[in-house]
Structures are given as C-alpha cells and as structure tokens.
Amino acid sequence: MKIKYIQNLNNFTGTIIIPVFETNIKSIVPIEYHGCSVYSQVFYGKKDTHYLVEKYDCTHIFIGLGKSIDYKSLKTIFRRTSSKFKDNFSTNVAINIPDEYDSNQVEAMFSGLYLGTYDLGHFKKKVLHHFLDQEFELQVLSKNNFENTIVRALKIAKSQLEVFSLVDLPSNVVTPQYLANWTIEAGKKYNFDVEVFGRQKSEEVGLHAFLAVGKGSEREPQFIIMDYNPENAKNHIGLVGKGITFDTGGLNIKTAGMVHMKCDMAGGAAVLGAMQLIADLKLQTRVTAIVPACENAVDSKSFLPSDVISSYHGSSIEIIDTDAEGRLILADGLSYLIKNYKPQTVVDIATLTGSSVATLGYECAALFTNNDEILKALQNSGDATGERLWQLPLWDCYKSDIESDIAAVKNYSGKPIAGAISAAKFLEYFTDNHSSWAHLDIAGVAFVDDEFAKTKHATAFGVHLITNFIENL
C-alpha cells in the first residue's frame, strides 16, 4: 500500500473515510463533510458507531470516535473499518485526518487500517484485501504532514501481522524448524544476526532443561538467537520468548483446551515480531533475543514427573509436572542470554500460567520485577500502546514454592494457588539476581475471542509494547 497526499476531493470518486468526534444527540447542527449533511438523529459520532452516505459517486463512511479516545480503541475502530468495509475499498479510497489528531492518533489509525487486512482463513481460497496490494494508493487529506508517522504505523502493523500468522497457523506448519527458518529470513531482510542451535549443538552447549522438554517430539528443537547491534547503540537489552510450538502437557497431559495449544509459542512470536520491528525502525539500541523453540509431546522418550534434570545454569531441577515446561526452556534461555551476552536489562515474555488468567482475566498481562524503574517504564509503554500490564509480587516468602528436597529447585509448587508467582520465582532463580529483569505472563492476552474471528486467535500482544519500551529507555 502506498500513501498519496491530496489537497481536496475535487473530481474524486470512490470511498471516503471520515472520522468524527462526538457532538450531541440533540445537536441541531448537522455534521457536514464533502457536501453531506448528517443529522444527530441518525449519527452524532458516538464511539463505535458508523454511518454511510452515498453521494457524488462516493461512499462516505462516517466513523464515530466518541468524545475522547485511547490508542487501543482507536486502533480497534480502524481495524474494524478496514475489515468490515473491505468491499468498499476496491477502487479509490481517501481518508480525512481530523485537525485535532496528534501523531499517536494517526499512528493508531493507520496501524488499525492495515491490521484490518488480516484473514484467519489461511487454508481457504480468498481474495487479498486491496490494502495489501503494493500498488494500491490510499489518499490522505490532512493539514499536517504525518508522512513519517504513517510509515511507522505501517511498520508496526506489518510486524504484528507476521505474529498473527505465526501464532494462528497450526502446529504441523509452525514447527520449531519453521520458526528458525522464519527468523533466518527476517534477519537477512531486516539486518540482524541469527544463530540457531539444533539438538546436537544444544547438547554440546549444555541446554539440558530445554532439551528435556523436547525429548518426546520427533521435531528437532531449535534454540534461536538473534542479535541486532547498530553502530553507536545506547543500551543493550535482552529478550527471551517462550517458543513451545505445541503443548500437550507431556505425560501430565492436558485434560481440557489442548486444541488451542498451538498458541503456546505466542511469547516467542512476540519476540520475533519485536525484533523485526526494532530493526525495521532502526532503533539505536542493541537487542539480543532468544527464542527456545520446541514441542512438548507425549512419547516413550518424554521426560517424566519425578525426573531430576540439569540446566544450562548448572542447577538441578526436580520435575513435578511436565506441563510446567515453559519455565524450563525459559530458564535455559535466560541463563544463556545473561551469561554470554550480559545485557543491561532483560525481559522475558511467555504464555506461562493459567493462574495469571484467573487473577487478571483477559484485560492485561501479569508483570513481575523487582526493579521499580523497569516497572514504571513497562507499565507506561503498556498504557501507551494499549497492551497493559499489572504487577504481581515477587516476595521471598514465595521461595518455598520452588524448594526441592532432592534437587536445587522444583518446577512446580503442586499448589492450586499463586501459580503465576511461583513460576516467576522459578525464572528469577535462573537470572542470578540480575538487577534489571522483568517477566511478562501473557497467557490471558495472547490468544483471545473477539469480533475479528469466530474462534480464538492471535493478538500479537507484546510486539508494540516491547518496542515502545526499548525506544523510550
């Protein structure tokens, strides 16, 4: 999609998108645009409403924004517009940017429009959205120049669209090898380094916890390492994302909801999408990221409850529950990142526990950190991007939940309470008390039911959040 600025709508025919802030249901003054008068009895700009007017060989789509609007809501409104009215966008399309808009609102609007091109029917015959045509021109009316903002908005959306596909595609397509290949190609395109350890190299390196999880699968695990290192980098940030491409629960097999477990790599996908976006935006921060990718399957070779395994950290781990596997691969990812790359700040992101969903529902992710500066920065980025976070405690009184009689630590407390916290304490153990580490449990926000599909699907939660966080450090 190309962007073309126009000064007016003289001789224009096609579809015009007109965002409107709310007036008043009793207003006697109609909303006027391009010769169209819309009276308050039928439309007055109430949030999440729209009104169509056919006039002058044009389809005018008036979009209600409400009296004020946040970033996430604005993005959702324009995603809905792009998706709902795609048949109206087959020819010329123009969009009016209200004079009151700032750059953040323009970013949300154009990101939303591009996200509306997503179609979950990957294996159906379908016609691509016209916005995806490289030659398609979206004509923009604005008194201000938002060219750089629009370019940025489209880059954000493109990275999120990649994550939608990675998470929504089935596990027989998105295997650990698929993720490795995707990352290699992205590294070439966006200019960051990629190194991948297969089973043999991971064994040589000592990634024993990571390998234990993947033992039951015929699909070879892939330990994916990325490094974006621009000249004159200001900071060095480390990222780790959980990359379980399918989670049966292992021998502690899941008794419900297994059909959705292709999404258990959503944290890893968020890291991959963030790396694409960070490099695409050419941020002046070094970012080293790791996605341990494997499948937790059931087989005669699967690791067992009561096993004691080793780890890259060198600490032994008692396996209480094979369905608490994500924290095992993250443990090796965190240990390897911190020991070999020594980033100033480390953030891991994972669909880790149902406990975080029980606590916070589907509105925000759980945030764990003992660093107040990182806490505030992450929450500010979450609020700014609509990917919100809420802190849960990391108090030492929860250490007993991971204490083992036979090994250094155990991977599951065995208690039906505080599961997200004990998982975070387990990860904290493998950071060697890193002074600037945060854990994001995104189990409730990575794969959801909403208006854009009939079934659960990906949100790309974390891509924009992480990028905004790094950008503002």
Contact 348, 33 (CB under 8 A): no
Average confidence score pLDDT of the chain: 96
State how far the Cα of 198 lies from the Cα of 431, in Å rounded to an integer.
23
Query: What pLDDT, on a 0 to 100 scale, did the predictor assign at position 22?
Result: 94
Annotation says 55 is catalytic: no
User: What is the sign of the dihedral through the CA atoms of 111, 182, 268 and 217?
Assistant: positive
Annotation says 79 is catalytic: no
Question: Does the predicted model carry a pTM greater than 0.85?
Answer: yes
Q: Classify 162 as helix, strand or coil.
A: helix
Query: What pLDDT, on a 0 to 100 scale, did the predictor assign at position 28?
Result: 85
State how far the Cα of 439 lies from the Cα of 414, in Å rounded to an integer.
21
Q: Is the pLDDT of residue 26 over 90?
A: no
Beta bridge partners of 309: 317
Average pLDDT over residues 116-123: 96
Q: Is the pLDDT of residue 90 over 90?
A: no
State how far the Cα of 298 lies from the Cα of 402, in Å rounded to an integer.
25
Kind plus residue range of the DSSP H or E element containing 155: helix 147-168
Q: Is the pLDDT of residue 27 over 90?
A: no
What is the length of the chain?
473
Average pLDDT over residues 66-84: 96
Of residues 25 and 333, the one with the higher pLDDT is 333
Q: Is the pLDDT of residue 309 over 90?
A: yes
Q: Is the pLDDT of residue 91 over 90?
A: no
pLDDT tens track for 153-169? 999 999 999 999 999 99
Average pLDDT over residues 436-460: 97
Give the amino acid at 122.
H
Average pLDDT over residues 350-367: 97
pLDDT category at 53 given cuts 50, 70, 90 is: very high
Q: 327, 388, 410, 425: which is the annotated catalytic residue?
A: 327
pLDDT category at 417 given cuts 50, 70, 90 is: very high
* In the chain, % of residues over pLDDT 90: 95
**Contacts of 410 by beta carbon, 8 Å cutoff, 6+ apart:** 317, 318, 319, 320, 402, 403, 404
pLDDT category at 342 given cuts 50, 70, 90 is: very high
Contact 31, 38 (CB under 8 A): yes
Please list, residue by residue across 288-316, b when 16 or more beta carbons sit within 10 angstroms of its beta carbon and e when fewer do: bbbbbbbbbbeeeebbeeebebbbbbeeb
State how far the Cα of 162 lies from the Cα of 272, in Å rounded to an integer.
9
pLDDT category at 264 given cuts 50, 70, 90 is: very high
Q: Is the pLDDT of residue 197 over 90?
A: yes
Query: What pLDDT, on a 0 to 100 scale, did the predictor assign at position 228?
Result: 98
Q: 46, 84, 155, 254: which is the annotated catalytic residue?
A: 254
The Cα-based distances of 32 to 29, 53, 76, 90 in angstroms read 9, 12, 25, 25
Give the amino acid at 299.
D
Query: What pLDDT, on a 0 to 100 scale, did the predictor assign at position 66?
Result: 95
Contact 174, 262 (CB under 8 A): yes
Average pLDDT over residues 293-300: 98
